Structure 1
Amino acid sequence: MKGSPSVNNATFRKFANWFFVRAAGPDRPRIHEPHGIFPESRRLEAQFDALKAEVEALMERRSIPKYGNFDPVRAAQVSEDWRLYYAYMFGKSNELARRDLPTLLAFAESTPNVVNAMISVLEPGVALPAHQDPYFGFLRYHLGIRIPRVDPPHITLDGQQYTWKEGEGVVLDVSFEHEVLNDTAEPRVIVIVDFRRPMGFFAGLLNRYCLMLKRKWAPQFVDAAKYDVMHQV
């Protein structure tokens, strides 16, 4: 299935997004301190050294797939050069991640509100132009793994900026427009974990239903990691 969940069921998704925004409130923060809204993140941060070692070993062993390999529709809107390795997608585990990223996969599988878990690599000169996530039912946790020390990259989210730091977590509301540029000579590497947006009962129920429908897209994302070719671009 070489389509994209970002354009699937557009009318229904528009209604769901409207409902989620009403439930979350118009003054919802753009950037969150993670431990209040996603307290489970403490468990992942406590394993930072093991997680970082696994990510570094993975990047030494193989190339990380480009976004265009598994979601060409969305990649054309954001960036075909953004590199992503999905360990967990819409409740489906990437079995390769049991070898490659066991710490991240175990965290995702043992945390019920986690939707997706992945490694994100932004190489030197790669930009993600202004865009917003097409689905508003989750918030996005970032954990810095490898961050350039000189003029480190930052994300601008609806006018607010956050600069990544190694070992530091943050939660972003990517329903707002955001953009990134890695204007350094080194890659920026982070862990991304999407988790269900905290909302009331009915919005939460709708969110669970929508995410269940999205599970059909999971194989397209996790299977991209099967192209395990040493150091190929």
Structure 2
Amino acid sequence: MKGSPSVNNPRLRAFANWVFLRKGGPHRPRLLSPHVVFPAARKLEEQFATIQAEVDALVARRTIPRYGNFDPVRAAQVSEDWRLYYAYMFGQPNELAREDLPALLAFAESTPNVVNAMVSILEPGVPLPSHRDPYAGIMRYHLGVRVPKSNPPRIRLDRDYYTWKEGEGVVLDVSFEHEVINESDESRIVVIVDFRRPLGPFADLLNRALLRQKRKWAPQFVEASRYDVMHDA
């Protein structure tokens, strides 16, 4: 399946986003404690030394693909220089991640509300310009893995700011407009886990149904990642 899940079914997506964001509206928090909205994150944080070692080894031996390899349409809007390794996408594992990121993949496969799991790399000076995620049915957890000590990058979500810290997790409501400000001289590396937004029963059923439809895009993301990695092996 080729294309972009970011531009698929715009009218249905707009209706779903209205349903998902109706409660709380513009007053909902931008930055949240993962232990409140994503308690399973404790399992990742308890394994931080293992996760960090896995990611360090991955980066040392693999060329991590750029976002344009996966979704050229969305990359043109966000950044073609953002590097991503998808371990798990819309419920489908990248089988290479069983070797590269076994702890992260095991977490994704054993946690029912996880949608995607990946490693995100911003190289020195690479920012992410202002944008918002087009689908509001997910929330995004970040775990800092490697963060420059000098002039560390930070993310702005609407009016709030957050600076990553190694071993610290945070949940971001990326349905708000956001950007990454990066003037560092080293790479910023985080683990990203997307999970289903906590919702009431009807909205959650709608979210699950729409996310099942998005599974058709998973091979595009997983295979693009595998192609680049295998060519570097």
TM (normalized to structure 1)?
Answer: 0.97
Q: What does residue range 9-20 of structure 1 map to in structure 2 within 5 Å?
A: 9-20=9-20
Q: How far apart in 1 are the matches of 2:218 and 2:212? A: 11
Q: Is the 8 A contact 1:143 1:168 kept in 2?
A: yes
Deviations 1:102-161 (A, max 9, x none): 000000000000000000000011111000000000110000000000011100000100
Match of 1:71 in 2: 71
Distance 1:102 1:158, change over 3 A: same
Q: Is the 8 A contact 1:2 1:70 kept in 2?
A: no
Q: How far apart in 2 are the matches of 1:23 and 1:32? A: 16
Give unmatched runs, 5+ long, in structure 1: none
- Secondary structure, counterpart of 2:232 in structure 1: coil
Identity of aligned residues (%): 69
Match of 1:211 in 2: 211
Q: Is the 8 A contact 2:70 2:225 kept in 1?
A: no
Paired residues, number: 231
Q: How far apart in 1 are the matches of 2:87 and 2:223? A: 10
Match of 1:117 in 2: 117
Q: What does residue range 151-190 of structure 1 map to in structure 2 within 5 Å?
A: 151-190=151-190
Q: Is the 8 A contact 1:23 1:200 kept in 2?
A: no
Q: How far apart in 1 are the matches of 2:221 and 2:181? A: 24
Deviations 1:183-206 (A, max 9, x none): 111000000000000010000000
Q: CA deviation at 1:24?
A: 5.0
2:29 is the alignment partner of 1:50: no
- Secondary structure, counterpart of 1:185 in structure 2: coil
Q: Is the 8 A contact 1:105 1:117 kept in 2?
A: yes
Deviations 1:23-44 (A, max 9, x none): 4544211000110111100001
Q: How far apart in 2 are the matches of 1:128 and 1:70? A: 16
Alignment equivalent of 1:230, drawn from 221, 229, 232: 232
Q: Is the 8 A contact 2:141 2:194 kept in 1?
A: yes
Q: CA deviation at 1:70?
A: 1.0
Q: CA deviation at 1:224?
A: 1.6
Match of 2:27 in 1: 27
Q: How far apart in 1 are the matches of 2:10 and 2:73? A: 14
**What do you get for the CA RMSD once the two structures are aligned?**
1.1
Q: Is the 8 A contact 1:96 1:225 kept in 2?
A: no
Q: Is the 8 A contact 1:30 1:160 kept in 2?
A: yes
Q: How far apart in 2 are the matches of 1:153 and 1:162? A: 9
- Secondary structure, counterpart of 1:19 in structure 2: helix
Q: How far apart in 1 are the matches of 2:143 and 2:24? A: 24
Match of 1:104 in 2: 104
Q: How far apart in 2 are the matches of 1:110 and 1:123? A: 31
Q: What does residue range 57-96 of structure 1 map to in structure 2 within 5 Å?
A: 57-96=57-96
Letter in 2 for 1:137: G
Q: Is the 8 A contact 1:121 1:189 kept in 2?
A: yes
Match of 2:196 in 1: 196
Match of 2:39 in 1: 39
Q: How far apart in 2 are the matches of 1:31 and 1:181? A: 17
Letter in 1 for 2:211: L
Q: How far apart in 2 are the matches of 1:24 and 1:102? A: 37
- Secondary structure, counterpart of 1:205 in structure 2: helix
TM (normalized to structure 2)?
Answer: 0.97
